[in-house]
Amino acid sequence: MKKTFAGKARNKSFLGVFAVISAASTLFIGCNQKIEVKESEKILSKEPPVAKVPRIDDEDIPSDKRVIYLTFDDGPNRGTENLLKILHKRNVCATAFLVGKHATDSKRQKDDLEKMRADQLIELANHSYTHAHNKYSDFYKNPDAVVKDFDLAKDSLKLTGKIARTPGRNIWRLNNINVTDLKSSSEAADQLKIAGYKVIGWDLEWKPTNKMNLKGNHEAMLKKVDSIFFNDLEKTSRHLVFLTHDQYLNDADSINELDLFIEKLQKSNRFVFRKVSAYPKINEILN
């Protein structure tokens, strides 16, 4: 695919050797904690009192920097609260692709939705209302029903924008990117675009184990990030969309691995983080 950002990635390693990275880090003042806390909560017990995300415009991104878009699917769900704690601990922004039905499945999920809605570090986007009932082939056979499902999610979640991600499919529909992983979903994806949805997939996914924990470790994921930029495999040069899921952040190891992944990216001083709404050309009016 022809790249759409200013030039291809330089033929060099972007993560490099982390041993050379400065050891300086920001110390955060912890909030009040319960006397007895779960092991996973101990990892995230220190947070900044206020998190602020500096605005970063394209012209402000040096040529040696790369942009990473952290995205999390299927919320509100198990692990949503832990996700927010990680974002605040690292003072980094992200995008949550929400499932409309999940916002009404339990009181905790309703509460988590309101926490996300009020949090400036995370933006909310559309991941359908039903998540296709996890029957993806049947779901995409009816393009009109797919659009109605996303419309229902938009209305029920009170989403102001039309950035969307398709359940169970890595599909892109922007003016300059048209990708469908399975051709049987093409017509439904086209109808979403006609309806005004900016459909965005991902460049790299951190997948789960059979126990629904993050598979592997942060070092392996860092190498994958490095490889994508090194080989210029991202959909838009210098911009990488990263995907994982809220529900994988429900054990101490997974929480720690994601936290270390973000920390190492930050300390490398080679990346900036942005919300998906800042992805190149995503705000163009669709043809």
CATH number at residue 153: 3.20.20.370
Q: Write down the mean pLDDT value for the chain.
A: 86
Residue 46 lies in a domain: no
Helix (H, G, I), strand (E, B) or coil at 171: strand
Given a cut of 50, whether residue 74 has pLDDT beyond it is yes
Confidence of residue 15 (pLDDT cuts 50, 70, 90): low
Token readout for 273 is 């983080």
Quick one: pLDDT at residue 41? 58
- Residue 55 predicted with pLDDT over 50: no
DSSP 201: -
Name beta bridge partners: 178.
173
In a domain, residue 50? The reply is: no
pLDDT tens-digit series, residues 148-206:
999 999 999 999 999 999 999 999 999 999 999 999 999 999 999 999 999 999 999 99
Total structural domains within the chain: 1
| pLDDT confidence of residue 44 | 66
pLDDT of residue 61: 78
Minimal CA–CA distance to 44: which of 65, 28, 57? 28
Q: Is residue 142 part of a domain?
A: yes
Q: What is the dihedral of CA 179, 181, 184, 187, to 10 degrees?
A: -20
Which of 20-29, 97-106, 118-127 is least confident?
Answer: 20-29
Residue type, 115: K
Q: Is residue 34 part of a domain?
A: no
Average of per-residue pLDDT across 11-18: 48
CA distance linking residue 151 with residue 197, whole number of Å: 10
Decide if pLDDT at 81 tops 90: yes
Work out the average pLDDT over 222-236.
97
Tokens found for residue 7? 């030039």
Q: Which domain holds residue 105?
A: 63-278
Residue type present at position 36: E
pLDDT at 47: 46
Higher pLDDT: 94 or 4? It is 94
> CB of 189 within 8 A of CB of 171?
yes
Note the pLDDT of residue 69.
98
The span from the CA of 68 to the CA of 170, in Å, is 17
Domain presence at residue 138: yes
Question: How distant, in Å, are the alpha carbons of 9, 93, 152, 206, 240 from that of 14?
Answer: 9, 21, 41, 19, 13
Q: Is 40 part of a structural domain of the chain? A: no
Buried b (16+ CB within 10 A) or exposed e, 174-199: beebeebeeeebbbbbbbbbebebbb
Among 237, 263, 254, CA closest to 87: 263
Query: Two tokens at 199?
Result: 């459909």
Q: Which of 279, 268, 285 lies closest to 93, judged by CA?
A: 279
| 3-state percent helix, strand, coil for the chain, nearest multiple of 5 | 40, 15, 45
Of the pLDDT bands very low, low, confident and very high (cuts 50, 70, 90), residue 34 is very low
DSSP string, 40-73: HHHHT----SS-------GGGS-TT-EEEEEEEE
Residue 56 lies in a domain: no
Query: Does residue 226 carry a pLDDT above 60?
Result: yes
Q: Is the pLDDT of residue 10 over 50?
A: no
pLDDT confidence tier of residue 139, bands split at 50, 70 and 90: very high
Which of 27-31, 59-63, 219-223, 233-237 shows the lowest mean pLDDT across its residues? 27-31
Residue 31 lies in a domain: no
| Six token digits for residue 91 | 């003072």
Q: Provide the pLDDT confidence category of residue 64 given band limits of 50, 70 and 90.
A: confident
- State the CB neighbour count (10 A cutoff) for residue 106: 12
Mean pLDDT across the stretch 219-238?
97
Residue 32 has pLDDT above 50, yes or no: no
Q: Collapsing DSSP states into helix, strand and coil, what is residue 74?
A: strand
Q: Is the pLDDT confidence value at 207 over 50?
A: yes
Helices vs strands, H then E, count in the chain:
8, 10
